[in-house]
Chain A
Amino acid sequence: MEGLKTHKRRDFKMKKRGNILLLGLMFVAFSFFASSSWSQKTTLTFWMHHHPPAYDFYTTKIIPEYEKLNPDIQIEYSAIPYPVYQQKLPIALAGGTGPDMFGLGDWNIAEYVARGQLEPVDPGILGFENQEELEKAWISGSLDGLKLGGRIYCLPWEYNTFSLFINNKHFREAGLDPNNPPKTWREILTIGKKLTKREAGKVIRAGFDWVYGQSIWYMLHFSPLLWQLGGSILNPAGTGCAMNTSAGVSALKMYGDLASIAGAEFGADFPTEDFATGKVSMWISGIWYIPWALQINPDLDFSVASLPTFQGKSRTTVLYAWGWCVNSHSKRKTEAWKFIDFLTKKAPEFFIKIAYIQPRRGWLDDPQIKKSEMYNYLSVFLDDFKYGRYLLRSEHYSEIQEAVTRAIERVAITGMDPEESIKILESDIKLALR
């Protein structure tokens, strides 16, 4: 019995400690609640996906600057890691605790608009007479991706296209001239194979590689191939899959061939690292990659070239934009748009530090930009912009993207025949469009 007695006493002590702990927690929770309802300022909640260079920029420069100019506004900035951003946002919006403003990629806008989550831009708040005047203040075409049904829903902080990056050193070693970059996909195929190095059956350097494992990259990489051949994922009415054509099959086949250069080995984990560390000789990415790459490897000797196309086919490139949007259920829409307006006028800082292109008209004339290191690479991207096209628009975009991802992976990774893969894709898209 003795053993049990002491046990009971120990139990009781634990219980007491537990209760005190619980009380302490309640107190902490209460005090937290109390303090948050005290603030007199208007708080703007602002969510974005997490990108470290941008994060530092927002928290140390832009937001303090704005708060100083507007002392009655307090901005609560949340940088959420991208993989979970996709879930946290809808859940918060569904629960009514969504942020006042948040970042969104142009491809997702149709989904959110269809579900009534986005507030269209009010030109008046930004100081314009009407929408036409507002559009004139931006480079023509840059707002198109963020427009739906004639109304603009987001203002872009990033306006991008994808172009070709090549490693000069690898080119020279192989006797190729970096100033004469490959212009067709077939050339990439040959050169890619040539530049690939293997050791004991393992690829240690890929002449060319895509990015795997992230759906949006598949879309951004694959779509230009498809468009150059005159194909598209959905039919013009958006009611069905249009990939079951020779264009669709050829595009998918070429994608798969290019993937087989390195056997889909790298990528996904570190798309940004591989090119910078010299594990990949050629890849396709945007201008924002450059500061990144140089940070990883300051000695990187590379050049940028136009996005390749098919022999004899038109040049088509991909356009995409990330924009700031306002929650249609927000109670602070005006303040949100005012802040966004402020943000869009920061083109020089965005470009120099992070190489984000902010397409407000006149940004190129800024002397700071002209002097920056990034400026040298700009011409290639600006050229590719001219042939750009946005990704497909649909309120079921995510589901379609998923189906296309699987179709691409079936060909590029498991080696399935493109025609077979497209057949499965067709039925998947039919389901997605319901």
Chain B
Amino acid sequence: MFYLSLHSWSLLSSPRFIGFENYKFLPQDSVFIKSAKVTFCYLLGMIIFGPLALILGIALNQDFRFKQLYWGIFFAPYVISLVVSSLVWKLIYNPSAGLLTLFTSPLGLHIKWLKDEHYALPAIMVYSLWVYIGYYSTLWLAGLKGIPPECYEAAAIDGAGKWTIFRYITLPLLKPVTLFIIVVSVIGAVQMFVPFFVMTQGGPAGATQTLAYYIYKVAFSFLRMGYACTVSVILFVLVFIFALIQVKFFKES
């Protein structure tokens, strides 16, 4: 990938070495800059909702009636292919006959959702949340299950309250899992492609064009594989640095 970023390659003919030319274009590329902003916004949105999954995971760790059923319901959206669930939500967001209009019409609200440059990205964020909350909470659940009950028992014997247990036992023991979930969700959010492709194709006017989608367009529509690799390299470097920071932060003794 690094190698290719130094070339100009249209996929259909042989690559041509051009050194760092590709990198020079990056700052001039208004679409690249906008895509980076959009990607960052999306990532922020996803991170803010991260703790929700943890809460749900803890909830699922308890026992209550119909737990399996609720769990299944939350997980089910992930099971469906992203392409299809994006299509379903595209229908849901349809301003004239979508599912949402059932709720917005009585309120007199009329929003164009996916065609509105202010609501399109939040709309996709809500969709992503719907798909992944069950997935991430199940991951947390798996992590929670990995904590030996003796730890809890010992703490209870010592007279610790629920919040103390959580802060000083559960959280630290969850560290490796937390690292994993953070890194994976960031990588996942940054590479998220399908809903942007199916629901908005990066529109309107680039409001939902993330770097992942831009790379795809550059590579396969514009037939500039070399430049696509250039953007990918930048993306890679950024995420990699982030991951390294996380690993350092979570390094336990």
Residues of A within 8 A of B (CB): 83, 86-87, 90-91, 93-94, 111-112, 115-117, 200-202, 204, 212-213, 263-266, 268-269, 396, 398-399, 402, 405-406, 409-410, 413-414, 416, 424, 427-428, 431-432, 434
Contacts and interface: CB of A to CB of B under 8 A. Distances in A.
Nearest to A328: B12
B203 A409 contact: yes
Given A265-B95, A265-B96, A398 B115 contact: no
B25 interface: yes
Nearest to A89: B220
Interface of B: 10-13, 25, 28-31, 90, 94-96, 105, 108, 110, 112, 115-117, 197, 200-201, 203-207, 216-217, 220-224
Given A91-B11, A409-B205, A201 B110 contact: yes
Contacts of B216: 87
7 contacts: A86-B220, A87-B220, A90-B220, A115-B12, A212-B204, A266-B96, A413-B203
A391 B31 CA distance: 24
Contacts of B112: 263-265
Given A90-B12, A115-B10, 7 more contacts: A90-B220, A94-B11, A116-B13, A213-B201, A265-B112, A269-B94, A402-B222
A116 B13 CA distance: 7
Given A201-B108, A265-B95, A398 B204 contact: no
B221 A398 contact: yes
Contacts of A268: 115
A319 B174 CA distance: 64
A204 B197 CA distance: 27
A94 B205 contact: no
Closest 6 interchain pairs by CB? Answer: A115-B12, A409-B205, A94-B11, A399-B222, A413-B204, A87-B220
A351 to B, nearest CB: 32
Contacts of B203: 213, 405-406, 409, 413
Contacts of A264: 112, 115
A91 B115 contact: no
B117 to A, nearest CB: 5
B220 A424 contact: no
B115 A212 contact: yes
B220 A413 contact: no
Contacts of A416: 205
Contacts of A434: 25
Contacts of B221: 86-87, 398-399, 402
A414 B223 contact: no
Contact of B222 (A91, A204, A398): A398
A409 B12 contact: no
Contacts of B207: 414
Given A266-B96, A398-B221, A434-B25, A406 B11 contact: no
A112 B12 contact: yes
Question: Chain A CB within 10 Å — which of B29, B105, B223 has the most?
Answer: B223
Given A94-B11, A112-B12, A409-B203, A414 B30 contact: no
A41 to B, nearest CB: 29
Contact of B12 (A94, A213, A427): A94
Contacts of A213: 115, 200-201, 203
A105 B87 CA distance: 27
Contact of B30 (A87, A399, A424): A424
Contact of B31 (A94, A265, A398, A428): A428
A265 B115 contact: yes
Given A115-B13, A399-B222, A427-B28, A414 B96 contact: no
A268 B110 CA distance: 18
B222 A396 contact: yes
A49 to B, nearest CB: 15
Given A86-B220, A202-B110, A413 B205 contact: yes
B4 to A, nearest CB: 12
A86 B201 CA distance: 13
B12 A117 contact: yes
A18 B90 CA distance: 39
Interface core residue of B12, B96, B224 (most chain A CB under 10 Å)? B12
A268 B96 CA distance: 13
